[in-house]
Structure 1
Amino acid sequence: MDTHEFESEMNFFDQSILDYKEGSNRLEKRLPEMTKSYFDFTESCFQPGAVDGKQKQLMALGISIYAQDEYCIMYHTKGAVEHGASEEEVMETIAVSAALGGGAAFSQGVTLAMETFDHYHDIKH
């Protein structure tokens, strides 16, 4: 892989998350109360409690893989890395999701989730 291809691949994840945030901002301008309520709700769901932040991100990743939600796969893989998830923890999350979601979940996990893990893990370390 040449340097240009590597830079494009590295920027794909950040660009995708930025696209999501820009879309959210657009919706927020037109539907501010709904958007604020949604983000307040989701933020409260991810607060540490009996289950810590890393485990919540891994749960969200598994559900995202099962649902084949590419933006959430990248977002929650990034969140898992930021909360200290290891490669093995991400892989086990993929395995559990694939056990329930079959080939579609497996393919999303071994490609998009692992590529996102590698990208953010390399940046963090």
Structure 2
Amino acid sequence: MKQQHTSVEAALRHYKEGVGTFTQKLPNVASRFHAFTEACFEEGALSKKEKQLIALGISLATQDEYCVIYHTKGCLDEGASEQEILETCGVAAAFAGGAAMSQAVTLVQECIHELTMKH
């Protein structure tokens, strides 16, 4: 029996499918954007984990739900602890107020739960 996908996994799949369609229609733009963002997230003076935490904070402040999900996963993939992720949410809320906090107490915590639970 096939495992049913969670809402977080479904959102990640939906985003990936959208990127694929966009890449087919505008390959020149998509490849350049991908190369740029890949370079931005390379290890440097800041670690990949620190960059993912920054991206999560910005995603919360700008209310970009797909990026909140994507960068919460990125934080976990780079070894960020739940405490580091939640502190990042707190900093985002200090700048963006209740809108960022509402995403932190719902979407981010749902992502952490769904992406770390054993299947």
TM score, norm. by length of structure 2: 0.93
Q: Which amino acid aligns with 1:109?
A: A
Q: Deviations over 1:69-105 (max 9, x none)?
A: 0000000000100111111101100000000000000
One-letter amino acid of the structure 2 residue matched with residue 15 of structure 1 = A
How many pairs does the alignment contain?
117
> 1:96 aligned to 2:65?
no
Percent of residue pairs identical: 44
Q: 1:76 to 1:99 in 2, by over 3 A?
A: same
Question: What is the DSSP-based 3-state SS (H/G/I as helix, E as strand, rest coil) of the residue aligned with 1:60?
Answer: helix
2:37 maps to what in 1? 42
Partners of 2:59 and 2:65 within 8 A in 1: yes
Relative contact order, CA 8 A, sep 6+: which one is greater? 2
For 2:102 and 2:61, locate their aligned partners in 1 and report how far apart those are by CA, in whole Å: 10
Match runs of 1:1-125 below 5 Å:
11-123=6-118
Structure 1 vs Structure 2 CA RMSD:
1.6
Using the alignment, how far apart are the partners of 2:26 and 2:118 within structure 1?
35
Normalised by the length of structure 1, the TM-score is 0.88
Give 1:16's aligned amino acid.
Answer: A
Structure 1 position 119, deviation (Å)? 1.5
Distance 1:28 1:85 in 2: 30
Q: Which has the higher helix share?
A: 1
What amino acid maps onto 1:63 in structure 2? I
Consecutive unaligned residues of structure 2, counting only runs of 5 or more, are none
